Structure formats: C-alpha cells, structure tokens
Amino acid sequence: MRRKIVAGNWKMNGSKDLSEKLVGSIRSEAGTLDKGVEVVIIPPAIYIGDVLVQAENALSVGVQNVGRWQSGAYTGEISAGMARDAGCRYVLVGHSERRQIFGETDELVAEKVSLVVSSGLTAIVCVGETLEERESGQAEAVVAAQVRAGLASVPAGKWHDIVVAYEPVWAIGTGKTATSDDAQAMHAAVRKVLKDMGAPSESISLLYGGSVKADNAAALFSEPDIDGGLIGGASLVAKEFMCICRSFPVGAEN
C-alpha cells in the first residue's frame, strides 16, 4: 500500500510566529485525519528548528533544497546530512523554481537524489512541463525524460526513499490546475516509466503539485495513481491545508 502524503512547501515565506501558530494548528488536528495520511511541513531552512518543536513528532518535516556536497567550503549551502541531523525526513529535489530560477539540470537533480537517499532521507523529486511544452504535445516526453534522468542513480534498495511530485509548471502559483483526468494520465505515465526503469512502481507514492486547493483536492486524490499533493500557497492557511489533508476518499487503498 502506497503512502498518502500531503506536503506543504512554504517556499520563501514564514516567520517564528507563523511557525508557532500555523504548525500548532495543523498538529492539533492531525490526529483526526484518516489513518495512513502523512502530513509533511517544508519550511525555509532557517525555521526548521521552530517547526520541529511545534510538530512534536505528529508531523514530518522536510527541507526545500540541499547542496550537491556533504561538507566543505560552500558558503550558504546545507547538506543532506545536515538536514537529517536537524531532524528532517524529506528533501525537495528539482522543484520547478530551482530548475527555472537557479538553472538546476536533470544531472544535478540526480546528484542530489543520490546524496539524499544515501543520507537516509526521502527525496521528493519534482518533475513537470512548461505550458509551451504541453501545447506542443511534448508534455509526456519531457516529464518521462526528467524522471529517467533524475532517478538514474537510485540504488535498487533505495526506491522506498523516493517520492515523485508531478508539478506542471504552468499551474504553479497561477491558479490554473490540470484537470483530474489530465493529472491522472501523467501520473500513470510516470508510473510506467518507473516500472520500465525496474523500480517497484506500484509502491512509489506520486504527488500532484500545481495550485491544489480545498475545492479541487478531492477530485485529484480520488484518481488511482495520485497519492497526495505537494501544496504551495494553500499550505500557509491552516484551515485550507487541513481540508486538503482530509480530501482522500474514505477507506481508499492504492
């Protein structure tokens, strides 16, 4: 049975006050969620300690990015080992903003994935196409290539430390969302690529990220290959985020 995961990516937002109030509210309601739904909070690295205090082991915590090295003279970088030492369980790798703004390539994503899983953390590996790529009919080929390249170095025994998040770039922060049918089609395609790579595809959780809201989460999460969501702006509002966390079909198993 695949893990059901709702991960809140705060991006470059937050404060000590937000960490206390928002995470406290989410934690207080986490016990009312269906069994098997894992809630992950991914704040800016500087607030990880504050979030961990508020999470009280009821929530998982992740980091938005790590460097390509485990240590050294790389001012401003943090390593996967440091993230684990701080108490994180998850690392976002290859988010579209890292790819577009900071020029991260599939090869760099693969390097980071290897470091993350070798450090005992789970990598949430982000893939997705631009609007131009979708409109030109290349969406599936682009995403498949990102999956193959980004996960090329995953050791056979480490696939349980991989989560894939499909985030159509054209839907991130725009208010646009792929239809549940379109999202399911891409998730099914990703699962097929994983199978072709020799991965245990039916046990790997696939998340949808792209303007997920309380009013569209249920339709998305009801699809057979969508195991949860990578949530952006809506993760900064406790009520909406928890509505999303409650949007899985009752008693559904993947």
Candidate list 104, 167, 223, 240, residue with the active-site label:
167
pLDDT of residue 69: 96
Residue 49 has which token pair?
A: 């300690």
- Domain assignment of residue 84, yes or no: yes
- The answer to the question of residue 116 being in a domain is yes
- pLDDT confidence of 1, banded at 50, 70, 90? confident
Type of residue found at 26: I
Look up tokens 């245990």; give the residue: 200
At 252, is the pLDDT very low, low, confident or very high (cuts 50, 70, 90)? low
Q: Is residue 8 part of a domain?
A: yes
Mean pLDDT of the chain: 95
CATH number at residue 79: 3.20.20.70
CA angle centred on 244, ends 195 and 25, rounded to 5°:
125
Tokens of 73: 């003279």
Residue 113 domain-assigned (yes or no) = yes
Longest dimension (CA), the chain: 50
| Whether residue 187 lies in the annotated active site | no
* Catalytic residue (one of 95, 97, 104, 223): 95
In a domain, 250, yes or no: no
Enclosing domain of residue 41 = 4-245
pLDDT tens digits along 108-159: 999 999 999 999 999 999 999 998 899 899 999 999 999 999 999 999 899 9
Does the annotation mark 223 as catalytic? no
Task: Give the pLDDT score at 196.
Answer: 97
If one counts the domains in the chain, the total is 1
User: Does the residue 251 lie in any domain?
Assistant: no
**pLDDT tens-digit readout, 74-99:** 999 999 999 999 999 999 999 999 99
pLDDT for 111 equals 97
